[in-house]
């Protein structure tokens, strides 16, 4: 069994980004990322903090815009519009989820698609479906694809089962895997799938993105399959320093012995997300020239 080391692959992506940043610097171009945080959700604060820190570490221009929890929809919109017009900013990210008075879909649609480094704007959703390489692929599925590639997993002709049909992970992952760059035979399974275990057992590649701790059990995975675990779930654990620990959607201990390759949680897909965000920001800066 091969452990797919997301930290290592992410470090490699970051290294490539550093080189690209240096090259762009020679041309007088400094990629810039703006991260908008509305309210004070502790998890969102942590995510935003690590994104901004990573930018600083790479010498990437970044801006953190914090709005109070009672900010109006119009105030958030005004920030997005200012950032759309700001030539120093190539990527804009509004941390999800915003407070309930904010219409998140409308905010996403207000972001200039050319700066939508999260890849959630309809224009980028369409480009993904149309296999138009000028679009931005959402960071998590982009990271999963990169992990498969670095682990040397053949996707062409492979049977892939994606569990979950969200627009954040499941659907884009399915579109990427079935596209002409990957050529996998893709099944999208979800909460309404009958005999999910049987469907999953067909897969050479399982992508688990359901958001339920330890959902994928050993009987759902065939011998020699590759498993990509997108889940990040907190489970109570009195023995853990914070009273909880992070587990994936896959029962790692039971499933991993059967696998040809598997991503751990943490240390698998997770570290890839920020790396792909940085990579998308550099792409946006290049396309803006």
Strand runs labelled E in 154-249: 159-163, 185-189, 205-208, 226-229, 233-236, 244-247
Minimum CB–partner distance for residue 158 and a second copy (Å): 8
Residue 256 marked in a binding site: no
User: Which residue in the set 192, 223, 238, 239 belongs to the binding site for a second copy (CB under 8 A)?
Assistant: 192
Q: Is 216 in the site for a second copy (CB under 8 A)?
A: no
Minimum CB–partner distance for residue 59 and a second copy (Å): 34
Q: 127-166: which residues touch a second copy (CB under 8 A)?
A: 127, 129-130, 156-159, 165
Is residue 3 classed exposed, middle or buried when 0-12, 13-18 and 19+ CB atoms within 10 A define those classes? middle
Residue 166 marked in a binding site: yes
Q: Is 203 in the site for a second copy (CB under 8 A)?
A: no
Q: Which stretch binds a second copy (CB under 8 A): 25-33, 56-64, 190-198, 213-221?
A: 190-198
Pairing between β-strand 233-236 and β-strand 244-247 as defined by DSSP bridges: antiparallel
Compute the distance between CA of residue 131 and CA of residue 125 in angstroms, rounded to an integer: 10
Compute the distance between CA of residue 199 and CA of residue 286 in angstroms, rounded to an integer: 42
User: Which residue in the set 183, 201, 211, 212 belongs to the binding site for a second copy (CB under 8 A)?
Assistant: 183
Q: 109-128: which residues touch a second copy (CB under 8 A)?
A: 122-123, 125-127
Q: Is 279 in the site for a second copy (CB under 8 A)?
A: no
Q: Is 185 in the site for a second copy (CB under 8 A)?
A: yes
Tokens of 51: 């994104």
Q: Is 167 in the site for a second copy (CB under 8 A)?
A: yes
CB of 231 closer than 8 Å to CB of 187: no
Q: Is the dihedral of CA 254, 255, 256, 258 positive or negative?
A: positive
The binding track of 67-106 with respect to a second copy, each residue x by CB under 8 A or -, is ----------------------------------------
Minimum CB–partner distance for residue 176 and a second copy (Å): 12
Q: Which stretch binds a second copy (CB under 8 A): 28-36, 180-188, 245-253, 254-262?
A: 180-188
Query: Annotated catalytic sites, by residue?
Result: 51, 95, 118
Compute the distance between CA of residue 94 and CA of residue 82 in angstroms, rounded to an integer: 13
Q: What share of the chain is helix, strand, coil (3-state, %, to 5)?
A: 45, 15, 40
Tokens of 268: 């698998």
Half-sphere exposure of 145 (CA within 13 A, CB side): 22
Contact residues: a second copy, CB under 8 A: 122-123, 125-127, 129-130, 156-159, 165, 167, 171, 174-175, 178-179, 183, 185-190, 192-194, 199
Binding positions are 164-166, 232
């Amino acid at each position: 069994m091969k452990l797919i080391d997301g930290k290592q692959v992410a470090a490699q992506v970051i290294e490539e980004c550093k080189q690209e940043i240096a090259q762009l610097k020679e041309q007088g171009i400094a990629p810039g990322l703006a991260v908008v945080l509305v309210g004070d959700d502790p998890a969102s604060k942590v995510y935003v903090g690590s994104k901004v820190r990573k930018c600083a570490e790479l010498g990437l221009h970044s801006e953190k815009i914090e709005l109070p929890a009672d900010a109006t929809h119009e105030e958030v919109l005004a920030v997005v519009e200012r950032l759309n017009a700001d030539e120093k900013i190539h990527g804009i990210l509004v941390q999800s989820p915003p407070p309930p008075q904010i219409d998140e879909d409308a905010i996403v649609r207000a972001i200039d698609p050319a700066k939508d480094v999260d890849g959630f704007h309809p224009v980028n959703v369409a480009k993904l479906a149309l296999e138009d390489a000028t679009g931005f692929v959402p960071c998590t599925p982009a990271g999963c694809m990169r992990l498969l590639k670095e682990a040397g997993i053949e996707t062409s002709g492979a049977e892939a089962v994606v569990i979950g049909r969200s627009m954040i992970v499941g659907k884009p992952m399915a579109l990427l895997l079935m596209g002409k760059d990957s050529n996998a035979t893709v099944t999208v399974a979800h909460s309404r799938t009958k005999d999910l275990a049987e469907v999953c057992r067909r897969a050479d590649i399982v992508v688990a993105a359901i958001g339920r701790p330890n959902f994928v059990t050993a009987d759902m995975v065939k011998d020699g399959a590759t498993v990509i675990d997108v889940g990040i779930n907190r489970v109570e654990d009195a023995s853990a320093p914070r009273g909880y620990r992070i587990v994936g959607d896959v029962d790692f201990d039971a499933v991993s012995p059967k696998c040809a390759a598997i991503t751990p949680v943490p240390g698998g897909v997770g570290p890839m997300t920020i790396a792909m965000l940085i990579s998308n920001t550099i792409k946006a800066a290049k396309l803006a020239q």
